Chain A
Amino acid sequence: MTVVKETVGIRQSGIGVSAVRPDAQEKVKGDFIFSSDLSSEGMLWGQTLRSPHASAKILSIDISDALSISGVHAVLTADDVPGENIFGLERADQPVLADDFIRYAGEPVAIVAADHPEVARKAADAIRVEYEIFSPLVDSYAAITAEAIHPEGNVIRHLNILHGDTEVVGDVVVEGEYEVGMQDQAFMGTESGMAIPSPDGSINLQISTQWLHSDQEQVATALNMPMEMVRVTLAGVGGAFGGREDVSMHVHLCMLALHTGKPVKMIYDRNESFLGHVHRHPARIWYRHHASSEGLLVKVEAKVILDGGAYASTTSAVLANACCFSIGSYSVPNASVEGWGVRTNNPPCGAMRGFGNVQTCFGVEAQMDKLAKELSLDPVEFRLANALKSGDTIITGQKITGTAPVREVLMSLANHPLPEPPSDNILERPGGTGRTTDGSHVKRGVGFAASIKNLMFSEGFDDFSEARCIVNDGFIAIQTACVEVGQGFVTLVHQIVQEILGIEKVDILPADTSIGSAGSTSASRQSWMSGGAVMKACEAVVDSLISDLSNEQGITFERIGTVLVAPDGSASIPVTDALQGRNYDETVVHRHAPTVPLDKNGQGDAHVSFAFAAHRAVVDVDEELGLVRVVEIATSQDVGRVLNPIQARGQIEGGITQGLGLAILEEIVLVDGKIQNANFTDYLLPTAMDTPTIEIAALIEEPEPNAPFGAKGIGEPPVISSTPAVVAAIRDATGLDLNRVPIRPEDIALG
């Protein structure tokens, strides 16, 4: 464990300080063990054969040549799946290995284990699969009425939200159509893991994931094994961003290990990683906004189509977010929103940071700018006039009972100073070190956008996390199944223990399925859910300690900070001292307030809590070359309470950079359902040169009632309105409509 070092402010530990990551030292020395770094004596290497076709029928599979290769230990197909050949995060609709139909290009068909990764690759190439190839269904709009490509039909979810008077018409009406391309999570560490068989027939799966218990359940079903025979342990995760919420290689690894009786390791290469996880849903969105001549929103009409690709994954929940928050961070009395999440022969889509809110935020913020222009109002003033506040009702009929400091977020950002005018340094112009522009066609633009994000799981999901606090003679260990993906939960665990028990040295036990579920590391939920569970487990230890002291000394202490104090003030003892020589083992389950499903009109208290953010982008655009340089992105964010300033800044800077990527760089390009750019040469991630200075204008700290320490999740808001802010800035510079992201150079140069 790394000792907590210099921290900001007066406090040196606990909640609110910039505590250093406990894994930082291992990570800078290259000693941290990621899932791809696992190794075991006598291990084999796994490889997946995937369909090159987006829509096909498997006529035959011949594995004989593959099996005859020296060093090959197993070649398995759908016939070898021990249990149900089906899995899925929200509904089981996806085969572990394709058994009849192929529904997307990249669908797993067979798996191989061999003594060297190159042998495994050669063996996979030697499997002969005969396909009858069909024309793929790749148009999300056509998919609604097209012939079904899956027994469960093409419409995964159809959702209507009808709120208020849906017939009312505003004085000013603006319409727009918007499109969002398919974005990839592009975590640096590709999918990888190892399955190790036990002599008793059980299996240990070490894997990079976001949700250990969901994996365990899906793997056990596919293997036809009792849950307790499938032990899942978190292996070091190289980023996630939603892309590890679904099962990828999990069942394949276990099948190969059980079949061969040997440990089997698998690492997807980057190309396979693009094929092996879900992506952000591409969206087609239509809006009609109505406002009064005074500049108040009257009604919003919207239609949203999300392309879920071949299998459901989390499409239902992503669609709910896209529709529920299609109005943005504004108060609208009337709304009519219709959404479809559909199945196509494109690659499956599911969770990615921002989860549905990203797609409609891009459209709604463009609409807000259009309305402001139509009304001759300043875009920020117009947003302020319509901003949601605590006590308002959103279009699902849910009253916001928590904090909603939208005005504070907007005003603090609007008041933040703008950056310096464009530099004369050619390297700081669009095109950068490529020296492509002479600067004569460079224009500056400024854009503004705001967003709303629901925190934690919605629509009646029983959302909980379990934590265990073990005290052994003053030493303390914390166990949860919460997945650390880089966000810094492990740091927060230390801070919570310091805050409540005053103990600096904490052992964090491995996250695995020997404790109850922590739910997924997603939906900006783990600080609230697993942080809350750790807090309660520590408090349970204090309660037991107080009870024991009461029995022994006849004094019922109460905890004030990290000190136990007698009610009359006659005695006090630090919790750390009182714990010396004592043993406790407390396990606590933490739940957030229950939610309900949406009714047939999309109404109901379906969400737990809401977080708001706003972004202001400043860009320089070379109109002739279509090149954009993002000069600065400034932000204000509603955070409830800052738990760790430096980690909060890291989440904000990282999230904004992913939003910038969606605005001007990142798209999975598909032709007939096949990914054309499944590598980092052609799928463009923001580099340090593409990323601007990120200014935090304000973090609004209004503690959220019922949230542990008053803190709202901070991971997702940065990615949501940063994209529309960048696009608004490019519109400001160029005067172009730009209704699709990512914006490509030709959209500007030829626009």
Chain B
Amino acid sequence: MDKDKRSTGYSLSVNDTSHEISKSWLGESLLYVLREKLGLYGSKNACEQGECGSCSVLMDGVLVCSCLVLAANATGRDIKTIESISDDDSLTDVQKAFVDAGAIQCGFCTPGLLITIHDFLETNPEPNVLEIREAISGNLCRCTGYGRIVEAVQIVSKQKSVGQGGSDDSS
């Protein structure tokens, strides 16, 4: 690669913090920059082809595979990664449900699934099982067979339903 291209700089807004990206090759994906330049290793690199969802992040609130986004093209966009969804000592309801329901084995797909599910429950807080399965079908998991992941989403959905005084029949 050309030396001058490697020295190109741009800025990225990630988890409400602005970062200056310097000495960057313009071909770098958002996933690579998040991981190797910003040290945000929570977004995972399983296929780097947009098939597995392990690298999922929100860009201006839209769920995207960060492996398919050129980092330099993400300048000016609001990027949210797994590292932003809960504070240091706390867990979100979905994170806690994952822990309690046994939805984690190796955990490599977990951050991507959590980003996807948080996004999904924003738009569909009381999904049925088929809707849950469809929503997470862009996230591959090789360990769990998805059963406990679906269970975790149902747990959260029921909690939300009860919390809002709705029916708890969410299946």
The CA-CA distance from A533 to B110 in the complex, in Å, is: 31
Binds B, one of A32-40, A467-475, A492-500, A731-739: A32-40
Question: Is residue A398 contacting chain B, with contact meaning CB distance below 8 A?
Answer: no
Interfacial residues of chain A within 620-658, with CB under 8 A of chain B in the complex: 646-647, 649-650, 653-658
Contact of A190 among B36, B46, B100 (CB under 8 A): B46
Asked if A239 and B108 make an inter-chain contact with CB atoms under 8 angstroms apart, the answer reads: yes
| Closest Cβ neighbor of B51 among chain A residues | A680
| Closest Cβ neighbor of A485 among chain B residues | B106
Contact of B140 among A20, A25, A687 (CB under 8 A): A687
Question: Is residue A421 contacting chain B, with contact meaning CB distance below 8 A?
Answer: no
Asked if A688 and B42 make an inter-chain contact with CB atoms under 8 angstroms apart, the answer reads: no
Binds A, one of B69-77, B128-136, B158-166: B128-136
Question: Is residue B169 contacting chain A, with contact meaning CB distance below 8 A?
Answer: no
Task: Tell me how many residues of B have a C-beta within 8 Å of chain A.
Answer: 62
Chain A 97-129 interface mask (CB, 8 Å, partner B; 1/0): 000000000000000000011110010000000
Interfacial residues of chain B within 119-171, with CB under 8 A of chain A in the complex: 130, 132-134, 136-150
A381 smallest CB distance to B (angstroms): 30
Asked if B140 and A653 make an inter-chain contact with CB atoms under 8 angstroms apart, the answer reads: no
B22 smallest CB distance to A (angstroms): 14
Question: Is residue A428 contacting chain B, with contact meaning CB distance below 8 A?
Answer: yes
A37 smallest CB distance to B (angstroms): 4
Task: Tell me how many residues of A have a C-beta within 8 Å of chain B.
Answer: 70
Contact of A188 among B82, B99, B134, B141 (CB under 8 A): B141
A347 smallest CB distance to B (angstroms): 19
Q: Lowest 9 CB-CB distances: which A-B pairs, in order?
A: A30-B42, A486-B106, A27-B107, A238-B108, A657-B145, A653-B145, A30-B82, A486-B105, A646-B102
The CA-CA distance from A504 to B82 in the complex, in Å, is: 30
Question: Is residue A600 contacting chain B, with contact meaning CB distance below 8 A?
Answer: no
Asked if B144 and A29 make an inter-chain contact with CB atoms under 8 angstroms apart, the answer reads: no
Asked if A653 and B49 make an inter-chain contact with CB atoms under 8 angstroms apart, the answer reads: no
The CA-CA distance from A690 to B23 in the complex, in Å, is: 44
The CA-CA distance from A561 to B110 in the complex, in Å, is: 37
Asked if B105 and A488 make an inter-chain contact with CB atoms under 8 angstroms apart, the answer reads: yes
The CA-CA distance from A186 to B83 in the complex, in Å, is: 26
Question: Is residue A671 contacting chain B, with contact meaning CB distance below 8 A?
Answer: no
Contacts A21-B104, A25-B99, A647-B102 given; does A188 touch B49 at CB 8 Å: no
Question: Is residue B66 contacting chain A, with contact meaning CB distance below 8 A?
Answer: no
Contact of B49 among A31, A679, A686 (CB under 8 A): A679
Asked if B104 and A28 make an inter-chain contact with CB atoms under 8 angstroms apart, the answer reads: yes
A282 smallest CB distance to B (angstroms): 20
Contacts A29-B42, A679-B51 given; does A122 touch B1 at CB 8 Å: yes
Chain B 30-48 interface mask (CB, 8 Å, partner A; 1/0): 0010011001111111111
Chain A residues with Cβ under 8 A from B25's Cβ?
A: 116, 118
Question: Is residue A685 contacting chain B, with contact meaning CB distance below 8 A?
Answer: yes
| Closest Cβ neighbor of A432 among chain B residues | B134
| Closest Cβ neighbor of A487 among chain B residues | B105
5 contacts between A and B (CB under 8 A): A29-B95, A187-B106, A486-B105, A679-B47, A686-B145
Question: Is residue A145 contacting chain B, with contact meaning CB distance below 8 A?
Answer: no
Contacts A20-B99, A29-B86, A487-B105 given; does A36 touch B45 at CB 8 Å: yes
The CA-CA distance from A680 to B49 in the complex, in Å, is: 8
Interfacial residues of chain A within 1-56, with CB under 8 A of chain B in the complex: 2, 5-6, 18, 20-21, 23-34, 36-37, 39
Contacts A31-B42, A689-B133 given; does A239 touch B144 at CB 8 Å: no
The CA-CA distance from A29 to B39 in the complex, in Å, is: 14
Question: Is residue A68 contacting chain B, with contact meaning CB distance below 8 A?
Answer: no
